[in-house]
């Protein structure tokens, strides 16, 4: 990351690393530069970043700020091509990019299906998925005894759950995973970007067609039924866009949450000991502290003021993009105290923005929390000697300025708890 010449108002300009090689180092430098910083995204695209919790919390609830990408001057003026690496994160048609009544209309359709009761009713199924993956985990060990916990545990838990919930057939899931990985990869080349956009619509079109022919008790069938009942309630493009949102967000963020929580506990033995000695509430604290300290989404695009607004004394012009840098905000000392950079599951003040805020707060947050609070204690109960198989510094980050996690998480399982000799 390099600091460029400051534009008007003496706001620093920072070029963000598209490979995400050092999310937290970059986030710390953003905080040091001030509460509002100009950033440069891949392709020389400019945006603003709000690095303080209180200012970002105000921004995400501000009615003068839109989520509609059509309001971004750079897109409207043709400065951002269709093959831009982050286009799959921005130019989508679903509740994330809708405002006001349109946002409420699209969100309501999902909340009818993804109710708190429905989420809690998934507990037995999530537990069964987790137990099955833990049973199979030792069989994935390589010749050196290591297992990639991301590949064989953290990934399949949310992918299986969200695909079952959405009604995605099993044979479509491997390609679905590749497409999700691709849209979060901010180093993707033009050909990959265009191919990914095409294949997303092709795959989801097949899913919708399959559920039309054979409806089930799933989100896709519910959305199709809503559209059949009232075509004005949901366009075909919105149906596909909503399905993509639920599958991609429901997989990627929970995957990284589980990986980041395991990594945090394995590199903080004192916190691991507290977690193992605690109860369900302790594991909930592990999840919340991970979300604050090592958020699955490092940076999130974007919001667009509909009029000039002032943030921390800086005027952000209408129609410019504002980035939410969750990695920076999660360790904001003004919000979390002088030890904000420390992973501490006993922390009293842990309010964070990892799931966003305001009217657009993540609908899938309860499901993500439920999956993580089932998966993590089950993993550590089964493998109490779990240990990283490499030095933490050898873990390779996901190549993304959006996703914040590592490509692999090689571990040694140790002796399964069930196989440990029972004492007198």
Residue 9 is predicted with a pLDDT of 58
Neighbours of 221 (CB within 10 A): 19
CB atoms within 10 A of CB 348: 6
Q: Tens digits of per-residue pLDDT, 169-192?
A: 999 999 999 999 999 989 889 999
Other residues' Cβ atoms within 10 Å of the Cβ of residue 351: 11
The model's pLDDT over 348-406, given as tens digits with 9 standing for 90+, comes to 867 899 999 999 999 999 999 999 999 999 999 999 999 999 999 999 999 999 999 99
To 10 degrees, what angle do helices 269-277 and 365-382 make? 90
Confidence at residue 316, expressed as pLDDT on a 0 to 100 scale: 97
Neighbours of 190 (CB within 10 A): 12
Q: Are strands 309-311 and 314-316 parallel, antiparallel or unpaired?
A: antiparallel
**Distant-in-sequence, close-in-space partners of 113: CB < 8 Å, separation ≥ 6:** 219, 222, 223
Instruction: Look at residues 246, 221, 87, 89 and name the one whose alpha carbon lies nearest to residue 159.
Output: 246
410-412, strands of its sheet edge to edge: 146-148, 410-412, 387-388
Residue 282's pLDDT is what? Answer: 95
> For the residues 73-101, what does the mean pLDDT come to?
93
Question: pLDDT category, 418, cuts 50, 70, 90?
Answer: low
Q: Are 40 and 7 in contact (CB under 8 A)?
A: no
Q: Which residues contact 388 (CB under 8 A, 6 or more apart)?
A: 263, 266, 267, 409, 410, 411, 412
Q: What is the pTM of this model?
A: 0.93
According to DSSP, the β-strands at 300-305 and 322-324 are antiparallel
pLDDT digits (tens, 9 = 90+) for 284-321: 999 999 999 999 999 999 999 999 999 999 999 999 99
Residue 404 corresponds to which tokens in the numbers above? 């914040």
């Amino acid at each position: 990351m390099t600091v460029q010449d400051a534009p008007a108002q003496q706001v620093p300009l920072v070029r963000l690393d598209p490979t995400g090689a050092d999310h937290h180092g970059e986030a710390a430098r953003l905080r040091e530069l001030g509460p509002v910083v100009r950033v440069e995204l891949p392709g020389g695209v400019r945006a603003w970043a709000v690095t303080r919790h209180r200012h970002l919390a105000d921004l995400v609830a501000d009615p003068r700020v839109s989520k509609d990408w059509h309001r971004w001057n750079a897109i409207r003026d043709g400065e951002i091509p269709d093959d831009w690496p982050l286009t799959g994160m921005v130019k989508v048609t679903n509740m994330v990019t809708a405002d006001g009544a349109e946002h409420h209309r699209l969100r309501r359709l999902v909340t009818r299906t993804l109710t708190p009761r429905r989420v809690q009713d998934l507990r037995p199924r999530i537990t069964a998925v987790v137990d099955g993956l833990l049973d199979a985990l030792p069989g994935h060990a390589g010749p050196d005894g290591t297992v990639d916990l991301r590949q064989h545990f953290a990934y399949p838990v949310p992918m299986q759950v969200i695909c079952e919930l959405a009604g995605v057939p099993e044979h479509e899931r491997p390609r679905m995973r590749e497409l999700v990985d691709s849209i979060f990869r901010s180093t993707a080349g033009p050909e990959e970007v265009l191919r990914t956009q095409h294949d997303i619509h092709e795959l989801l079109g097949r899913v919708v067609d399959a559920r039309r022919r054979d409806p089930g008790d799933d989100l896709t069938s519910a959305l199709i039924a809503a559209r059949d009942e009232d075509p004005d309630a949901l366009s075909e493009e919105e149906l596909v866009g909503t399905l993509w949102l639920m599958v991609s967000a429901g997989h990627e963020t929970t995957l990284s949450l589980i990986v980041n929580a395991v990594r945090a506990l394995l590199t903080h033995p004192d916190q691991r000991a507290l977690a193992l000695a605690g109860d369900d509430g302790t594991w909930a604290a592990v999840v919340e502290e991970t979300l604050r300290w090592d958020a699955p989404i490092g940076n999130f695009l974007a919001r667009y003021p509909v009029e000039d607004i002032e943030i921390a004394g800086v005027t952000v012009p209408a129609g410019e993009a504002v980035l939410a840098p969750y990695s920076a905000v999660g360790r904001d000392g003004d919000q979390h105290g002088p030890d904000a950079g420390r992973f501490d599951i006993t922390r009293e003040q842990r309010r964070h923005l990892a799931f966003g805020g305001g009217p657009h707060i993540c609908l899938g947050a309860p499901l993500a929390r439920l999956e993580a609070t089932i998966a993590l204690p089950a993993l550590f109960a089964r493998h109490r000697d779990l240990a990283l198989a490499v030095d933490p510094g050898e873990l390779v980050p996901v190549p993304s300025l959006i996703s914040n996690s590592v490509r692999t998480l090689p571990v040694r399982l140790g002796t399964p708890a069930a196989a440990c000799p029972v004492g007198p």
